[in-house]
């Protein structure tokens, strides 16, 4: 008998029963950098070095882009934009000098904007860097402005948060700059769903805002003026502590880097209302440990991105590392169970005589290894196991 697993669905039937005891959590691993050393060394994975990585972004191929700060080269400050490829290689794609380029402290980057890299700084300047390292300003900043993060829509229009001036701005594809909405409180992270709605971390009052394409603002999670780490209903119970990076997955769920709590929060989309849960880290505890759920530790997580397979990437700023989160599901089938679940992540089956662990990472390479009590798989194409 063979069991087939595909990129889109998985089903395993074991034992006689149809009920299951299922507990889902997120595994956290460090994929680049070292918490014991800050630098701008290129390399692969943990051999690379970062220094206070900020907001990060991801392109359609799964490459990450991260601005580094806290650099000095003789008398001139310089701030590299780092690229992390899907194979784990880290290297500089641009070095922004304070004098030569006019950008100070790049706060965020995004990619695939007309084939170039989009960068912003703490004075509100926004510029484009081409493949040759040439920079062109598309918005000039000044003291008191701070372009914190931005998102680009399908029409190449740029929406950006300005935490210094408390608004979301708009730069059209033709370069016209305007204010999209006012009345926010230190907005930081921004993301967009397929309907054109924006979602913003309103860090000054510890809330998450939704902004419709017509500019209507509403709170979807957090209690204005209250900081905390409470999970629960988005509007009546959940609290945040300086939420920064935000990203959205294909199902409309939101993920937030809750920097003041050193945690990663999930806003599960329930037909337009949201329930908030802590999926990694422990509020009130900082550190650099990898692990599952609350066993993992962060130190001032800032940027956050989600790829097409649902993997979550976090720039763990004060640890000088980039972290990866993926789903881990544990099923107890001691009395028999049937389970259908995701392919991205890890699934553990615990039985009377042996355990089976099925790991799916969404890669195109098929790899099946069967040992006593353990089955490990990784594939984005169908895999048949068993005889």
Task: Give the pLDDT confidence score for residue 333 in this predicted structure.
Answer: 39
Please write the tens of the pLDDT for every residue from 118-145: 888 767 778 887 767 677 778 877 766 7
What would the mean pLDDT of 64-81 be, rounded to a whole number?
67
Task: Give the pLDDT confidence score for residue 1 in this predicted structure.
Answer: 27
Residue 361 has pLDDT above 60, yes or no: no
Residue 175 vs residue 286, higher pLDDT? 286
Please write the tens of the pLDDT for every residue from 236-248: 999 999 999 999 9
Please write the tens of the pLDDT for every residue from 362-387: 443 333 333 333 334 333 333 333 22
Query: Sorting pLDDT into bands at 50, 70 and 90, what band is 346?
Result: very low
What would the mean pLDDT of 282-288 be, rounded to a whole number?
97
Task: Give the pLDDT confidence score for residue 364 in this predicted structure.
Answer: 32
Residue 147 has pLDDT above 50, yes or no: yes
Task: Give the pLDDT confidence score for residue 95 in this predicted structure.
Answer: 61
Please write the tens of the pLDDT for every residue from 196-235: 999 999 999 999 999 999 999 999 999 999 999 999 999 9
Please write the tens of the pLDDT for every residue from 162-203: 998 999 999 999 989 999 999 999 999 999 999 999 999 999
Query: Sorting pLDDT into bands at 50, 70 and 90, what band is 22?
Result: very low
Residue 100 has φ and ψ, to the nearest 5°, of -70, -25
Residue 114 vs residue 86, higher pLDDT? 86
Q: Any residues with CB less than 8 A from the CB of 317 and at least 6 apart, and which?
A: 52, 53, 54, 259, 299, 300, 301, 302
Residue 220 has φ and ψ, to the nearest 5°, of -110, -15
Task: Give the pLDDT confidence score for residue 101 in this predicted structure.
Answer: 39
What would the mean pLDDT of 62-73 be, rounded to a whole number?
76
Residue 215 vs residue 352, higher pLDDT? 215
SS (H, E, C) the chain: CCEEECCCCCEEEECCCCCCEEEEEEEEEEEEEECCECCCCCEEHHHCCCCCCCCCEECCCCCEEEECCCCCECCECEEEEEEECCCCEEEEEEEEEHHHHCCCCEEEEEEEECCEEEEEECCCCEEEECCCCCEEEEECCCCCCCEEEEEECCCCCEEEEECCCCEEEEECCCCCEEEEECCCCCEEEEEECCCCCEEEEECCCCEEEEECCCCCEEEEECCCCCECCCCEECCCCCCECCEEEEEECCCCCEEEEEHHHCEEEEEEEECCEEEEEEEECECCEECCCCEEHHHCCECCEEEEEECCCCCEEEEEHHHCEEEEEEEEEEEECCCCEEEECCCCEEEEEECCCCEEEEEECCCCCCEEEEECCEEEEECCCCEEECC
Q: Do the Cβ atoms of 54 and 67 come closer than 8 Å? A: yes
What would the mean pLDDT of 91-109 be, rounded to a whole number?
55
* Cβ neighbourhood burial of 144 (10 Å; 0-12, 13-18, 19+): exposed
Of 224, 252, 253, 254, the residue nearest 240 (C-alpha): 224
Query: Sorting pLDDT into bands at 50, 70 and 90, what band is 289?
Result: very high
Question: How many other CB atoms are there within 10 angstroms of residue 320's CB atom?
Answer: 25
Residue 227 vs residue 336, higher pLDDT? 227
Residue 235 vs residue 326, higher pLDDT? 235
Residue 340 vs residue 51, higher pLDDT? 51
Q: Are β-strands 345-350 and 321-332 bridged in parallel, bridged antiparallel, or unpaired?
A: parallel
CA 208-213-218 angle, to 5 degrees, is 30
């Amino acid at each position: 008998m063979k069991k087939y697993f595909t990129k889109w669905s998985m089903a395993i039937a074991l034992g006689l029963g149809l009920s299951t005891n299922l507990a889902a959590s997120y595994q956290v691993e460090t994929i680049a950098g070292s918490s014991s050393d800050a630098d701008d060394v290129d390399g692969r994975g943990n051999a690379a070095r970062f220094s206070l990585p900020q907001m990060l972004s991801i392109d359609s191929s799964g490459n990450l882009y991260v601005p580094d700060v806290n650099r000095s080269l003789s008398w001139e400050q310089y701030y590299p934009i780092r690229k992390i490829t899907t194979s784990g290689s880290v290297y500089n794609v641009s070095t922004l000098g304070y004098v030569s380029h006019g950008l100070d402290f790049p706060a965020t980057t995004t990619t695939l904007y007309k084939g170039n890299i989009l960068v912003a700084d703490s004075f509100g300047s926004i510029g484009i860097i081409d493949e040759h390292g040439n920079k062109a300003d598309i918005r000039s900043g000044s003291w008191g402005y701070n372009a914190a993060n931005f998102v680009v829509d399908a029409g190449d229009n740029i929406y950006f948060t300005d935490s210094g001036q408390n608004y979301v701005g708009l730069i059209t594809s033709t370069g016209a700059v305007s204010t999209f909405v006012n009345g926010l409180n230190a907005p930081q992270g921004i993301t967009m769903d397929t309907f054109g709605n924006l979602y913003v971390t309103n860090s000054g009052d510890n809330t998450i805002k939704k902004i419709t394409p017509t500019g209507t603002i509403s709170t979807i999670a957090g209690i204005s003026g209250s900081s905390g780490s409470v999970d629960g209903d988005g509007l009546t119970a959940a609290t945040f502590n300086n939420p920064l990076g935000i990203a959205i997955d294909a199902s409309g769920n939101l993920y937030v880097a809750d920097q003041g709590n050193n945690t990663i929060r999930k806003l599960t989309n329930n037909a337009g209302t949201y329930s908030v849960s802590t999926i990694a880290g422990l509020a009130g505890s900082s550190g650099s440990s990898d692990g599952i759920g609350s066993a993992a530790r962060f130190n001032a997580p800032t940027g956050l991105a989600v790829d097409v397979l649902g993997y979550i990437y976090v720039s763990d700023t004060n640890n000088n590392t980039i972290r990866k989160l993926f789903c881990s599901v544990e099923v107890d089938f001691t009395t028999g169970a049937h389970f259908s679940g995701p392919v991205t992540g890890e699934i553990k089956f615990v039985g009377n005589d042996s355990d089976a662990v099925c790991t799916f990472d969404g890669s195109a390479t098929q790899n099946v290894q069967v040992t006593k009590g353990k089955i490990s798989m990784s594939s984005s194409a169908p895999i048949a196991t068993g005889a």
